[in-house]
Amino acid sequence: GENVEQHPSTLSVQEGDSAVIKCTYSDSASNYFPWYKQELGKRPQLIIDIRSNVGEKKDQRIAVTLNKTAKHFSLHITETQPEDSAVYFCAASSGAGSYQLTFGKGTKLSVIP
Amino acid sequence: DTEVTQTPKHLVMGMTNKKSLKCEQHMGHRAMYWYKQKAKKPPELMFVYSYEKLSINESVPSRFSPECPNSSLLNLHLHALQPEDSALYLCASSAQVEVRGVQFFGPGTRLTVL
């Protein structure tokens, strides 16, 4: 089955700096890669996603890049703000005809004012 | 309505109790999911329903029994749980019209088993 590795597990940045979280996946058939943000005690919320026919996608301060050859994808957050502090999970779909998502272990991002 | 709702928000139960978790969505989604999330861990898939039929059971113990009465509702019946089953139980849904569609999560039920 699919295996998703996520790094780093914790990340602290100064407000206004950029943050980068990286994930690698094992199943070359995976073609959908969402990123979820989960604040303490809240539900995971989709912040951006990318499909394998696209190399990069941007939404305001958030961008995701995908390298299919290397089987890795990254989340980039620019001009970080304290409200960006949360746990971020990457995920990958895991099989033809399946709606299964395999999640990475998460990155706890702390933005220091 | 663009949300997945879950009730109750919190549940405390003994190991001999029977209880149920409820999930509802009115987005017309035909795939619904149950996840279990322990503290500081990612969501872990338990069950997937596609068009009201169980399509994936990730080897979940029989003390967890899912039910999908209609396209908008998903239940998780709990019986004879163990303390290690204490966790946040998340429901999610996605549209069926595209493969690997976006999953939207509910707020979860925080379950404590005594």
Supply the DSSP string of A46-92, one letter for each residue.
Answer: EEEEEETT-SEEEETTEEEEEETTTTEEEEEE-S--GGG-EEEEEEE
Q: How many residues does chain B have?
A: 114
Q: What is the pLDDT of residue B97?
A: 47
Task: Assess contact for A91 and A51: CB atoms under 8 A.
Answer: no
Q: What is the pLDDT of residue A51?
A: 87
Output the 3-class SS for chain B.
Answer: CCCEEEECCEEEECCCCEEEEEEEECCCCCEEEEEEECCCCCCEEEEEEECCEEEEECCCCCCEEEEEEECCEEEEEEECCCHHHCEEEEEEEECCCCCCCCCEECCCEEEEEC
Query: What tens digit of pLDDT does each residue of A22-70 get?
Result: 999 999 888 889 999 999 989 999 999 998 888 999 999 999 999 999 9
Residues of B within 8 A of A44 (CB-CB) are 43, 90, 105
Write the single-letter amino acid at B97: V
Burial class from Cβ neighbours inside 10 Å (0-12, 13-18, 19+) for residue B2 reads exposed
Report the alpha-carbon distance of residue B52 to residue B93 in Å, rounded: 12
The residue to which tokens 């026919």 are assigned: A53
Using CB atoms, which residue from B31, B43, B94 is nearest to A103?
Answer: B43
Query: Is there a cis peptide before residue A8, judged by omega within 30 degrees of 0?
Result: yes
Per-residue DSSP letter, A9: S
Most B CBs within 10 A among A40, A43, A98, A108, hence the mutation to make, goes to A43
- Between A18 and A98, where is the model more confident? A18
Mind listing the pLDDT tens digit of every residue in chain B (114 residues)? 669 999 999 999 999 999 999 999 998 888 899 999 999 999 999 999 988 999 888 889 999 999 999 999 999 999 999 999 999 999 999 886 455 578 999 999 999 999
Using CB atoms, which residue from A49, A104, A106 is nearest to B102?
Answer: A49
Given a cut of 80, is residue A96 above it in pLDDT?
no
Q: What is the pLDDT of residue A98?
A: 56
Task: Assess contact for B28 and B101: CB atoms under 8 A.
Answer: no
Report the alpha-carbon distance of residue B13 to residue A27 in Å, rounded: 40
In Å, how far is A110's CA from the nearest CA of chain B?
Answer: 15
Q: What is the pLDDT of residue A80?
A: 98
Using CB atoms, which residue from A34, A100, A106 is nearest to B42?
Answer: A106
Q: What is the pLDDT of residue A94?
A: 66
Report the alpha-carbon distance of residue A69 to residue A4 in Å, rounded: 15
Q: In chain B, which residues touch A (CB < 8 A)?
A: 31, 33, 40-43, 45, 48, 50, 56, 90, 94, 99-108
